Amino acid sequence: MKIKHWLLGAMLLPSLSFAANVITKYTPPQSEELKPYYELLKSRNALDQVKPTVKLLKWPGDFTLETMECGEVNAMYYPGQSRIVMCYEIFKDLHDKSEEQLTDYSAEYRRDVAVHAAIFLFRHELTHAIIDVFKVPIFTDEENAADAVALYYSLNNSEPEELKKLLKGAKFYFMRKNPKFGETNDYQFGTFSDVHPLHEQRYFNMLCYTYAKYPKEADFLVKDGYLPQSRADYCPRQWEQLDNAMKKLIWPHTYKKVGK
Ligand SMILES: [Zn+2]
C-alpha cells in the first residue's frame, strides 16, 4: 500500500509545474540627475506592475526585471540570462521629451504618453526574451518580431482606453526624435509606410546573413567596411534564428533537406 502510494506520487510529480520566480531589482544610480527616477520607480513598485505579464510565460528558470543606470538611453534583454534591464536614462528621456514636445496637452496626458511608451518598450524587450528562451522560430528580423508580438498582446488584452494610451505611447516612443512626424507632409510617407523594409535595410540583411554563414570567405565585408562591425556582431544570432526557423517551419514540408 505504501509503495503504491509512493508510486502514485511519483507519477503525479512530473505533471506538477512550478511558476518561475520573477525577481525585481532597483539598482541605485551614480548620476544625481537619474536619482529621482530610481526613487520614483522604486517607491511605486513599478516592476511589480509588469510582473503579471512576465508570469504568463512558462519560464524554465528565474527571470529578472531590473532598473539601472546604463550610460545610454536604452532598454535591453540579455540573451541567455533571462534578464530585462530598463535604464533610468530611457525614463528620463521619455519624461523630458514629452514635457518639451507635448506642451499643448495636460500634464496628465504627457505622463500617460511617457508611461505607456515605457510599457510598450517593456513588452518589446519581453518578446526578445520569449524568442531567446523558447527558441521561437522567426524569419523576420527580431526587432520587427518584437514590435509585432508586443502589439499583438496589447491589442488582445488591453481595454480600449488603455489601448489608445499604449498606441499614443508607442507612437511617441518612435517619433520623439522627429516630433512633427505624423503632422507634416515633409517626410516621405510612401517610403516609410511601404510593406517592405527600406531597400537599404534589405541589402544589409543580405550581407549580414552571408557574413554569418561564411565568416571566413566573407570576412572582407567587415574588413573593407561594407558591413559595419556594430551590425556584424548581431549577424551570427540572426543567422541562427533564420536557420532555426527554416528547420522547424519549412524543412518538415520538403522532400529533402534544403540546408545543413
Ligand atoms: Zn529590440
Residue 142 Cα to ligand 1 middle (Å): 7
pLDDT digits (tens, 9 = 90+) for 151-161: 999 999 999 99
Amino acid occupying residue 115: V
CA 229–ligand 1 middle distance (angstroms): 18
Sheet of 75-78, strand order: 22-26, 63-68, 83-87, 75-78
Tally the residues of the chain: 260
Q: How far is the CA of 146 from the centre of ligand 1 (A)?
A: 6
Q: How many A from CA of 50 to the centre of ligand 1? A: 18
Cell of 228: 559595419
Q: For residue range 222-260, what is the model confidence (pLDDT) as tens digits?
A: 999 999 999 999 999 999 999 999 999 999 999 987 788
Helix, strand, or coil here: 128? helix
Domain ranges (residues) in the chain = 21-175, 198-250
Give ∠ CA 70-76-81 in degrees, rounded to 5: 105
**Average pLDDT of 53-74?**
97
Residues 6+ apart with CB under 8 A from 81: 64
CA of 211 to the centre of ligand 1 (A): 21
204-216 per-position pLDDT tens digit: 999 999 999 999 9
Estimate to the nearest angstrom the gap between the alpha carbon of 172 and the chain centroid: 17
Task: State the cell numbers at 243.
Answer: 536557420
pLDDT at 94 over 90: yes
CA–centroid distance, 122 to ligand 1, in Å, is 10
Report CA(124)–ligand 1 centroid distance (Å).
Answer: 6
- C-alpha 250 to ligand 1 mean position (Å): 25
217 pLDDT band (50/70/90 cuts)?
A: very high
Cell 550610460 belongs to residue = 71
Residue 76: strand pairing partners? 85
Distance 143 CA to ligand 1 centre (A): 5
Separation of 95 CA from ligand 1 center, angstroms? 20
- Span from the CA of 177 to the centroid of ligand 1 (angstroms): 17
Q: Is the pTM of this model over 0.85?
A: yes
